[in-house]
Structure 1
Amino acid sequence: MRIENSFIPVDGVGEKTERGLWERGITHWDDFERDAVGGKTGDRIEAFIETGRERLDAGDSRFFDSALPSAHRWRLYENFREEACFFDIETTGLSHANDDVTTVSVHRGGETLTLVADRDPAVGRPLTRDAIREALADAPLLVSFNGRRFDVPFLETAFDLTLDAPHVDLMYPCRRLDLTGGLKAVERDVGVERDRPDLSGYDAVRLWREYERGAEDALETLVSYNREDAVNLRTLAEHVVGALHDRAFGDIE
């Protein structure tokens, strides 16, 4: 689903009103005519479409991020997918106040970058504040799995950053599809394959400790694991957004 299919960002338009428009064949902004909805609601829809076209042309994802209800922010994905940053981190534990970030992988535009918490890592690039900022620079959309509660607080605390770009945390739209559990469990449920399905977040901690003790191959395995997390987020996003589109439109042509 694209933003142009959406009327729900308009004040006074809920899911019921939006679906009513779709069922009448008004499934895109191009299909809307002022007399389709009476009163002030019709005026607001018309005004939103006019502004929305300008904001889309400007690539202003923040405008739509603030306009869409939180449960529907997955609709940002189709419009901003090509420039989106799919990102994942590994850490030494679960506390963003006490533990450290070890690797950060960002998949963007078909390329995957991994940053490693070492001045001269055997693989990847050094993990610094500037490197993170550069990797996420001007991203119209961040995509993660449980990133709002885990990855973002870790990065903001560890590197004194503010990551406030529009963010689709796939954990929540997955739950709307009854896909629960961690990323690996959800991947299995939707058929996403991994090179090392035996590895988990606990192994990521173990591998880093082994690397600190001098095992260079442990870092290679950790980086490969972290990169696969980031790359697989795109595959998962395609599945989830497609499924939610089908659910929203149902039997509407």
Structure 2
Amino acid sequence: MRIENSFIPVRGVGETTERRLWENGVTHWDEFDGSVVGSTLADRIETFIDEGRTHLERGDVSVFAEALPAASRWRCYENVSDETCFLDIETTGLSAETNHVTTVSLHQGGETKTFVKERDLTGDRLARELEDSALLVTFNGQRFDVPFLETCFDVTIDVPHVDLMYPCKKIGLDGGLKTIEQELGIDRDMPDISGRDAVRLWHEYERGDDGALETLIEYNRADTANLEPLMEIVADRLHERVFEAALADE
């Protein structure tokens, strides 16, 4: 599903009105003629479409991400999948005020990069890596990863953000990332490690165990790279549930 199939970012259009548009054949911006809704709302939708095309021509999905509910921001993904950055962090604890970020992995365009505390992990480096990304995808990053990074590195991460935890819940996928991966059959080629293990591995590395850091990096990279197939599965399932289901009822 693409943004051009969406109308709920428009003020005054909820899921019921959007579904009514789809059921009446208005499944894409190109098909909107104002006949299904009242004149005031029609004018608002036409303005949204005109301005929306300009944003999409620039590859900018921020206005749509801001207007969509958190559980519906997955709709932005197909438009900018090639410019999407998947991100995951490891830390020494749960509080950004008293703990530190140890590793950050970014996965984009089939490549995964990992940055390590006291090596190459800085706020400037993160900002440079994210500046060309059209969309950021995390799991629980809205509450944890992004604010943790912003606090620890005094940066502002304003890339449009899809936190997969919310659309996962919408299709009945609860629990942590690894639990959901197992349910969906997404494999990872490494031993089962928990967040608590990640803290332990960092402290072992600080005591001189370089192998512990290698394991921690491998774990962080797996978390990050596996967000991409999860995003694809979630987007496909929600497309079927939200969009194709409405068309089947026409």
The size of the alignment, in residue pairs, is 247
Aligned residue for 1:92? 92
Query: Aligned AA for 2:122?
Result: T
User: By how many angstroms is 1:38 displaced?
Assistant: 3.1
Partner deviation per Cα, 1:18-54 (whole Å, 9 max, x = no partner): 1111112211111111334332111111221111111
Distance in structure 2 (CA, Å) of the matches to 1:33 and 1:118: 57
Distance in structure 1 (CA, Å) of the matches to 2:64 and 2:121: 31
Distance in structure 1 (CA, Å) of the matches to 2:128 and 2:121: 11
Q: Which runs of 4+ in 1 moved over 4 A?
A: none
Aligned residue for 1:163? 157
Distance in structure 2 (CA, Å) of the matches to 1:65 and 1:23: 24
User: By how many angstroms is 1:138 displaced?
Assistant: 3.1
Pick from 168, 174, 180: which aligns with 1:180? Answer: 174
Aligned residue for 1:49? 49
User: By how many angstroms is 1:197 displaced?
Assistant: 4.4
Unaligned runs of 5+ in 2: none
User: By how many angstroms is 1:136 displaced?
Assistant: 1.2
Partner deviation per Cα, 1:130-162 (whole Å, 9 max, x = no partner): 111111123221100001111112111111111
Aligned residue for 2:107? 107
Aligned residue for 2:64? 64
Distance in structure 2 (CA, Å) of the matches to 1:27 and 1:248: 12
Would the aligned equivalents of 2:70 and 2:166 in 1 still touch at CA under 8 Å?
no
% same residue: 60
Note the aligned Cα RMSD (angstroms).
1.4
Query: Aligned AA for 2:106?
Result: V
Query: Aligned AA for 2:22?
Result: W
Change (3 A) 1:251 1:52: closer
User: By how many angstroms is 1:70 displaced?
Assistant: 3.4
Partner deviation per Cα, 1:154-177 (whole Å, 9 max, x = no partner): 111111111122110001111111
SS in structure 2 of the partner of residue 252 of structure 1: helix
Aligned residue for 2:239? 245
Aligned residue for 1:220? 214
- Give TM-score scaled by structure 2 length: 0.94
